[in-house]
Amino acid sequence: MANALVVDDSRAVRMILSKNLREVGFDVREAGNGREALEVVAAEKASLRLVLTDWNMPEMNGLELLKCLRKDPALASLIIIMVTTETEMEHITEALDAGANEYVMKPFDKEILFQKLDLTGVRA
């Protein structure tokens, strides 16, 4: 089973995303901000295939997390999808330029999420 990490400061959003990922066969871990996410990544680097991260979070935001993860050559194949309320084109461009594989705007439904997973090739 592939491992995924859901990073969002909203427990409700983490629950929704985690439920959706479990439906398609992921073993899911959760983190409430980027710093917590880095701890999970450090512990599960070898088996982690997917990160879904919000942009706006305390301590370390999603863009900072994205940039940090992309600095590690061992994580080059990690699929990272931003799932956020940031809908301005400049934010989308900034995230994609920083290494996000896809971008999902809140609110979303699970079909949109699954389409993005399919586009990245992370879903079997």
Residues 80-119 as b/e (b if ≥16 CB within 10 A, e otherwise) read: bbbbbebeeeebbebbeebebbbbbeeebeeeebeebbee
Q: 120, exposed or middle or buried, with CB in 10 Å at 0-12, 13-18, 19+? A: middle
- Of the pLDDT bands very low, low, confident and very high (cuts 50, 70, 90), residue 20 is very high
- At 63, list the tokens: 């863009």
Distance, C-alpha 21 to centroid of its chain: 11
Q: What's the pLDDT score for residue 1?
A: 67
Give residue-wise pLDDT tens across range 32-49: 999 999 999 999 998 999
pTM of the model: 0.95
